[in-house]
């Protein structure tokens, strides 16, 4: 079983989120096997995480929003587990929801499972440290970067006209411009 777009739209409406916020949260749920999620979206209180009922959001004093995010995660966790199992052919393997190109998630299937992923303002990222790769999707276009010697551990997005992404690691900040493009 996978979630149809109209089912996700209905869940978004039921919990008071836009479809974009619901897609980001559901994608994080699928990546977390349905039992946990790490996400970053302004409608969801910024950066946050959920794990079987424990919810933390960046807007930490907004209890109403935290309850809505928790309710959505609880509502969609079984569907996320099913979507992940369907995509991987297992009961909780390492893949994810089948993307629009037939591969796991929205990035090329040869990258495998992301160690972390997120979305904000129409932009998504997924990090693959074992492959030294970073996938970024903007406006439906996926670009793959070589992370080289950098070990990316933190991700943030600068608000404003350019919505630039920045990363951090043990050695400090890493700009996207410092990474080499290795593929579409």
Does residue 103 lie in a domain region?
no
Residues 84 and 121 in one domain: no
Question: Would you say residue 98 lies in a domain?
Answer: no
Q: Of 79, 170, 172, 155, whose CA–CA distance to 116 is shortest?
A: 155
**Stretch 67-85: mean pLDDT:** 84
Q: Do 120 and 176 lie in a common domain? A: yes
d(CA 76, CA 107): 22
Do 83 and 141 lie in a common domain?
no
Domain boundary among 88, 118, 145: 88
Split at pLDDT 50, 70, 90, the class of 64 is: very high
Task: Choose the final residue of a domain: 54, 88, 122.
Answer: 88
List the structure tokens of 53.
């009922």
12 and 72 both lie in a single domain = yes
- Looking at the predicted structure, is the pLDDT value of residue 88 above 50? no
Q: Phi and psi for 108 in degrees, rounded to 5?
A: -55, 135
Report the pLDDT averaged over residues 127-154.
86
- The answer to whether 165 and 176 have CB atoms below 8 angstroms apart is yes
Q: Rounded to an integer, what distance in angstroms lies between the CA atom of residue 133 and that of residue 111?
A: 8
pLDDT band for position 176 (cuts 50, 70, 90):
confident
175 plus 137 within the same structural domain: yes
Residues 65 and 120 in one domain: no
Domain boundary among 27, 54, 88: 88
Q: Strands, DSSP E only, in 19-99?
A: 36-41, 46-51, 54-57
Grade residue 54 by pLDDT with cuts at 50, 70 and 90: confident
Is there a single domain that holds both residue 83 and residue 123? Answer: no
**Does some domain include residue 96?**
no
Averaged over 91-116, what is the pLDDT? 57
Residues 81 and 131 occupy one common structural domain = no
Q: Tell me the C-alpha distance between 41 and 35, whole Å.
A: 19
More confident residue, 140 or 46: 46
- Residue 101 domain flag: no
Q: How confident is the model at residue 32 (pLDDT cuts 50, 70, 90)?
A: confident
Residues 54 and 123 in one domain: no
Please say whether the beta carbons of 156 and 137 come within 8 A: no
> Domain residues for 16?
5-88
In this structure, what are the phi and psi dihedrals at residue 159, rounded to the nearest 5 degrees? -75, 155
Domain count, the chain: 2
């Amino acid at each position: 079983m996978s979630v149809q777009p109209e089912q996700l739209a209905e869940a978004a409406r039921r919990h008071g989120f836009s479809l974009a916020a619901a897609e980001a949260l559901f994608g994080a749920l699928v990546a977390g096997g349905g039992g946990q999620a790490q996400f970053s979206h302004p409608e969801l209180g910024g950066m946050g995480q959920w794990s079987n009922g424990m919810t933390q959001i960046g807007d930490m004093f907004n209890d109403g929003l935290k309850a809505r995010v928790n309710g959505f995660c609880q509502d969609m966790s079984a569907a996320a587990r099913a979507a992940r199992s369907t995509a991987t052919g297992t009961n909780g393997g390492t893949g994810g929801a089948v993307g629009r190109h037939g591969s796991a998630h929205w990035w090329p299937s040869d990258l495998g499972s992301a160690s972390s992923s997120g979305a904000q303002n129409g932009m998504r990222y997924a990090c693959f440290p074992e492959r030294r790769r970073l996938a970024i999707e903007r406006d439906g276009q996926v670009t793959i970067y070589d992370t080289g010697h950098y070990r990316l551990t933190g991700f943030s997005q600068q608000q404003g006209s350019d919505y630039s992404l920045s990363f951090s690691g043990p050695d400090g900040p890493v700009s996207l411009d410092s990474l080499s493009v290795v593929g579409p």
